[in-house]
A = this chain, B = another copy of it.
Amino acid sequence: MNKKKIVNDPVYGFVSIPSGFLFELINHPYFQRLRYIKQVSMTHLVYPGALHTRFQHAIGAMHLMSSALGVLKDKGIVITAQEEEAALAAILLHDIGHGPFSHSLEHTIIEGVSHELISSLLMDRLNTEFSGKLDLAIAIFTNRYERGFFHQLVSGQLDTDRMDYLNRDSFYTGVSEGVISYDRLIAMLNVVDNQLVVEEKGIYSIEKFLTARRLMYWQVYLHKTVVGAEQILIKILERAKYLTGQGQQLFATPALAHFLQYKVGCHNFTDDASHLDWFTRLDDMDIMSGIKAWVYAEDPLLSMLCERLLKRDLYHSEISYEALSPEAIKSVQIRVKDYFDIEDVDLPYYVFSLKIQNSAYNRLKDPIQILMKNGEVKDLISALNVSDLGVLEQKVTKYGISYPKEIGFFRF
C-alpha cells in the first residue's frame, strides 16, 4: 500500500511519516522507549500540562525538518532523496540517547557520559541492524557531511530541534509567549555555499525567536521551582546510590538496580556493552517507581526527600543576580540544623545553592547568517545595522539558594 502513515500531533495537526524506513525506526524499541521519557523532566510540578515526551518531540522535529527541506527545494536547492531521508533520520534519532528525566539525571545515573555520546552509540547499533542505511544520517548528525546546512538544521542556532521544543514546550506548559512562528522562520531559510542562511525579511522573526527562547529559559527551563525540584530528584538518586554502596537493599526495578549497584561512568561505560543494554531499558518510570517505594525506606533522609517530591512539598528557592555570601548561606544552614536536628553531613540534602546561566545568542560560537536582498551574506548583528543585541547576547547569571519552607523565609 502506498498510503503514508499519519500521526496526530496537537502542535502541528497531521504529521506524515515520509518513508517506510523512517516508520521502522519509529517502531524500534529504542525509539518507542522515548514515549516514557518526559521532555522537560519535573517541569510538570510547576506547569501541570508539561507531560510531553521525547517521542513526540522527535517526531515533531522531523516534521519541521521535512518542511524546511521542502522550502529549500522550492528555492532551487538540490537535495537528493537519500539526503532527505538521512536528514530526517538524523533529527528523528538526535535524542535517542536521553535517559530518564532527560537532562536532569544526565550525569547522575551514569556519571560523565553525555546523552549525545549515547545517541551516537545507539545510532551505530541501529546502523548495524539496518545494514548501513544510517551512514549518511550519522555523518550529518556528527557534522562530517560536507553539505553543512543539513547538520545546521539538526543542531545549530535555528535548527529544527529548537524550533520544535520551543513550540512544544510553550504549547504544553501554557506559556503561550514562547510560541514561535516556525512556519515563517522556515519559509525564510535558504542555503548559500552549503551554509544555512535566513533571508533578510525574516530578520525580525529571528529577534522574536531569540526573545522567545530567552523567555522560555527564565520562565520555564530555569524557573526556580523547576530547578529546585530537579535538584531534589538528583539528590534522591545520589542518596539511593550512596545507600546501595553502603550495602542497603533498596527496592528498584531491575534496570534501575543495575545502575544503583554498578558505578557506571565514562571510565567503564563503553567497556561492557551490557551497560548500554540496561540503559535502553531505563526510563522515567523506573525512577518514579523507586521514589514511590522509598517514601517508606528506612533511611530518613531518602524517605523525606521522596515524600516531599511526591507530595510536591518542595523547597523554597530564592534567586538574585549576586551570589550569596558564605555568611548568608551559613545562617540558613544553622537554622536548618536547629530546626531539623541534623548533622553537618546531611546538610547538603537540606540546603543547596543554584547557579543558573543563560544567553540567548552567541555571536561567536554560531552566528546566524542573513542573506541580504542584494545577495550579500552578513551575520545577524551587521545585518541589523547595530553594534550588539543587548540582553539577547548578554550571558545572564543568577544565583539561588533552596531550603525547606518550615524554617521560615530569609531576606538577603
Contact = CB atoms under 8 A, between A and B. Distances in A.
A281 interface: yes
Contact of A174 (B9, B36, B285, B311): B9
A88 to B, nearest CB: 17
A212 B208 contact: yes
Number of copies of this kind of chain in the complex: 4
A9 B285 contact: no
Nearest to A374: B411
B218 A214 contact: no
Nearest to A171: B10
Nearest to A398: B385
A386 B183 CA distance: 32
Contacts of A4: 74
Contacts of A391: 207, 384, 386, 389-390
Contacts of A204: 177, 214-215, 218-219
Nearest to A384: B391
A75 interface: yes
A205 interface: yes
B49 A187 contact: no
Interface string A121-162: 000000000000000000000000000000000000000000
Interface string A378-399: 0000001110111111101000
Contact of A35 (B6, B35, B48, B394): B48
A312 B388 CA distance: 39
A5 interface: no
B386 A8 contact: no
B187 A2 contact: no
Contacts of A411: 374
B55 A48 contact: yes
A55 B50 CA distance: 12
A268 interface: no
A405 interface: no
A49 B389 contact: no
Interface stretch (A233-241, A258-266, A286-294, A349-357): A286-294
Given A8-B173, A286-B292, 20 more contacts: A4-B74, A9-B48, A10-B49, A10-B173, A11-B174, A14-B187, A27-B311, A35-B48, A48-B56, A49-B52, A177-B208, A207-B211, A283-B292, A288-B289, A374-B411, A385-B396, A386-B390, A386-B394, A388-B390, A390-B391
13 contacts: A2-B76, A3-B74, A8-B46, A9-B49, A32-B310, A176-B181, A177-B205, A204-B215, A251-B253, A281-B292, A283-B292, A286-B292, A321-B385
